[in-house]
Structure 1
Amino acid sequence: MDTVTRLEHECAQAWPAVVDERLGDWRMRAAGGFTGRANSTLTCGDPGIDLPLALRRAAGFAERNGIRPTAHVVLGSRVDAEIAGQGWVVNLDHPGGAESLVMIGPLSPGAHEGARVDDAPSPGWWELTAGSQEPSSAQRHVLSSISGVGYGVLERDGQVVAAVRGAVVGDLLHVARLAVRPSHRRQGLAVGLLKTLYAWADAKGAKRQALQVAEHNTAAIRLYEGFGCAEHHRYRYWIPC
């Protein structure tokens, strides 16, 4: 398995869809519309059938699960070179952005006052990362249904002001849902919380990290570059015309 395919599948394991059906090496995923990654077909590897039929199968899966047919396609892959010829186009209106970077890097463990990593998500964590203290069933499944997940929080005066999710898959820490309240930004809280998360992951055997970030989110890209992360590859979301 090439490194891109391996990394994409590790990230998919860390971000579990409610429904995840295999089509050869492909993963057809659905989660009630919560995030593009959990509601798209990951087209890495060999689907075991020709591309036109594989895409039709992916579209049928999406329709059966009540979501828009969407293909998660790595730039420079064989699917990337051929999917336009099958009547699919890049989804330029995707809410999270049509194109994302997958960044990788080392861990930089540390600590920060008020920061910790919990074994279960608190109401404050849910509110900051999912928008409500009462998450939907899809949100709960994607964010909290697997083992090896840590829920990083940083509190000020009893309120969660920064939060992040970390999932350890083998020796990989997958980082997601980093959020800081607008009133507490530019105070170094994201850096402090991430260092605390890295220490938690290091204790669980993680040696490297990966994250997915939209290409337009330059602030997040610069943040992770400060930890030694660099772009590994990119992917885009495609939809049928």
Structure 2
Amino acid sequence: MNEAEHIEHACADAWRALIERRLGGWRLRAATDRVGTERVPFTARANSALAVSDPGIAITSALDEVCEFAHAQHLKPVVQAIHGDPVESDLRRSGWRPYHEHAAGCEVSVLVGPTGQGGEAGDSRMRVLDAPTAGWWELAVDSPRPTQAQRHVLTSGARVGFGLVEHEADTVAAVRGAVVGDLLHVARLAVRPRLRRRGIAGGLMRRIAAWGYDHGATRCVLQVAVGNGGALALYQRLGFREHHRYRYWVPTGAWQDRAP
């Protein structure tokens, strides 16, 4: 397993789907909620097949399995593949294409950066808790009451921390950190619009990084859509650099004969 594959598996461990099936080195994932008669997925990461390493069977058979799993979960078949990996050529030959219409974009930059030093208290308003508060949920998922899929994905893991900043009894910033081996996976950074551009995001990132260091992480990893220029600029200022990219792929014809 190369370093990019190792990082992708660690990120998947940090962002656990409600349902996961292993197919050799691939991971078929689903995390949905029922809304009326529909199944609504929570993030593409938790509702796609991570296609790294060897699936253990022929690529066409593996993609058949991906599609059958997705349809069983009422999902559109989606594959997550490292940009430039040979599996992308396999996908294209098998009639798949980049998922350009995905709302958040089909291409994601995986950034790696420092954790800093442990024990950094910083601003006393910035804390990392063992469990999320209603205010944290409101910023992280736009509701103080998360869905089943949201709660599972965001609270699962051996060591998860919920960073927040409070101001006048209001939660004004939030972030999630999950330690997997030597990596701290950071996600869901949010600051209330009225308090942006005041250094809060950077301060909270340093706080969650220090927390990760205290729990054994030696580096941080982030997954950021390449179209999110503001976030990429912030993380670059904080010392993050791109390690690799991945893309989401969907079938163009072979499995379009029936809806999910």
TM-score scaled to structure 2, two decimals? 0.91
Q: CA deviation at 1:214?
A: 0.1
- Aligned equivalent of 1:221: 232
Spell out the pairing of 1:60-99 with structure 2 (5 A cutoff). Answer: 60-99=68-107
After superposition, the CA RMSD in angstroms is 0.9
Contact preservation (8 Å) 1:106, 1:207: yes
Deviates more, 1:177-186 or 1:222-231: 222-231
Contact preservation (8 Å) 1:108, 1:227: no
Q: Which amino acid aligns with 2:128?
A: V
- Aligned equivalent of 1:124: 135
Contact preservation (8 Å) 1:112, 1:195: no
C-alpha separation in 2, matches of 1:103 and 1:53: 32
C-alpha separation in 2, matches of 1:84 and 1:205: 40
C-alpha separation in 1, matches of 2:246 and 2:157: 25
Q: CA deviation at 1:208?
A: 0.4
C-alpha separation in 2, matches of 1:15 and 1:63: 21
Contact preservation (8 Å) 2:165, 2:172: yes
- SS of the residue aligned with 1:138? helix
C-alpha separation in 1, matches of 2:210 and 2:250: 39
Q: Does 1:103 align with 2:111?
A: yes
C-alpha separation in 1, matches of 2:61 and 2:51: 13
Q: CA deviation at 1:112?
A: 2.3
Q: Does 1:238 align with 2:249?
A: yes
Contact preservation (8 Å) 1:58, 1:69: yes
Residue 112 (structure 1) aligned to one of 110, 118, 123: 123
Spell out the pairing of 1:1-241 with structure 2 (5 A cutoff). Answer: 1-32=1-32, 33-109=41-117, 110=120, 111-241=122-252
* Uncovered stretches (5+) of structure 2, i.e. residues with no partner: 33-40, 253-260
C-alpha separation in 1, matches of 2:244 and 2:115: 19
Deviates more, 1:73-82 or 1:6-15: 73-82
Moved over 2 A (4+): none
Contact preservation (8 Å) 1:153, 1:160: yes
- Aligned equivalent of 2:257: none
* Uncovered stretches (5+) of structure 1, i.e. residues with no partner: none
Task: Give the length in aligned residue pairs.
Answer: 241
- SS of the residue aligned with 2:136? helix
- SS of the residue aligned with 1:117? strand
TM-score scaled to structure 1, two decimals? 0.98
